[in-house]
Structure 1
Amino acid sequence: MMQQCFLDRLWDPKSTTLPNLLLMASTSCRNQPRLREETEKAVGFALVRTGQQLLGFEEGSEENPVSPARASPCRHGTATGAGIDITEEDVDEILREGDCSSPPAERPPPKMPSPKATRVVGTHNSKPEDHRQYQLQVRHSCLQDIWDEWFGLGRFADSFGGIAGCNQLHKNKWRLHLKGDLYSCNKRLIEGVQHQMKVQKCQPESILAEWDVLFKNMNCSVGNLVKSLQHQKLLKVGKPRGASKQAIQKQRQQQQTEAGGPSQ
């Protein structure tokens, strides 16, 4: 009887608001499992009715002719509103899904971001012993690395002696997969160092250290360094071929025509 009166009070929308109703359900039924179960069902129906009212369906209207007596789970066990039948089984399922007292479902641990790959000291080639897959390093931080890569020294050590060893063993067919501009700039730089070694009669380290200052001032660009050294007459200028040769010849003819001299 006491339980019935308590539930009737819960169903009375004029006696208390929904937050107070939830507070009464949590404090009064803490040690009474049966009363707590019935109260939770009553709260479930109250939440459903509140949702229907928020959607614009009022009790007793033509769209929703539902009275508190019909909606009470303790009297009839079903609630009908807006064409939807709500049974005690539906409320039980809703309460089971939203029961905070049950242990939470185990969630998989969050995936931690994989650490960035650290740079491994050594050659940049995946297969340094295979000259057919050998690749030139695109950018260097100092000229000593370019020298070591060309002759297979230091961290660029391999079984065939770097680029120079491959050229000696396999001539020029092996490097068809290499970038022509990068190979050409590195080759001119190495030949320039070797020429200065003969002229100054010194070791390559002194030449590399002297040119390395200019190299770093040019943002470590081998192409710009080669052009600067050619302008200073420290590197040989290759003979023009193909389109470059024709452009130079045409430029010379224009200069001679403007000067009034004979064109050759």
Structure 2
Amino acid sequence: MSQRDGPPSGESGLSPNRRWLMDAVYPLIALAFVVVAWSLVTNVLQPPAYIIPSPGDVLDELVARWDELFNNMVSTARTALLGLLLSGVLGISAGFAIARSKTLDRLLMPPIIVTQSIPKIALAPLFVVWFGFGIVPKLIVVVLVTVFPVLIATRVGVSSVQRSTLALVRSMGLRSTALVRKVLLPASAPHLAGAFRVSASLALIGSIIAEYVGSSEGIGVVLLTSIGTQNTALTFAAILLSSLTGSLIYLAATAFTHIATIGLNPSYMEVQT
């Protein structure tokens, strides 16, 4: 019996449910190691609480100020999700337009690339001056942080469709909307899946950055306030809650892109065959 015909070994032989369980367990093990190491540092070295609080102090702060932290986290997450949705719409639309037009590609891509080298936190105060305090400047920052991966992925995916495929589907009578839905969007789906996960991981960061300079609510405001008052336990609690929320957004984006890719690819495969 050849090696290929032998029984599967390692994680490749696990059932999907077991593999999913292992994927969930590994991060928990890593988190446990971090907490243990953190506890050892605070117990052995005993640094001042305003430098490194103990895990117990952080947990106490998290419980005592849960309502405040939760409400501010909801505000930050709401801005992040809305900005992520807008960046998806804008990135896909612009990516399609640029990929289908060499003129737009040459005209728009250079300034788009240049904007990525500008620190977004430097632009945030300008947006506050232009649009005032509120959700608009925060949304703009989130979109600027998250739209680029989506745009590039769409551009690459649409450009990857061969001209022979386009000629074939046009000969079958597909035009405009049907062409996008049955060919171009499915071809871009694998690229968009990875890009959207990257953007999802950046969305919360963009929202917090925007709150640093132009907001009266949000977890970014809590972070600034706690740092200013040297309440490091509250800072750690806000960071912990932000990390958990960011992980949930990333997992939700991963599930969404997985379902969307499976739903879109069959129509593309039908055309290819």
Same fold (TM over 0.5): no
Which has more helix, going by share of residues?
2
**Is the radius of gyration larger for structure 1 or structure 2?**
1
Short-chain TM bin: under 0.3
TM, length-normalised to structure 1: 0.23
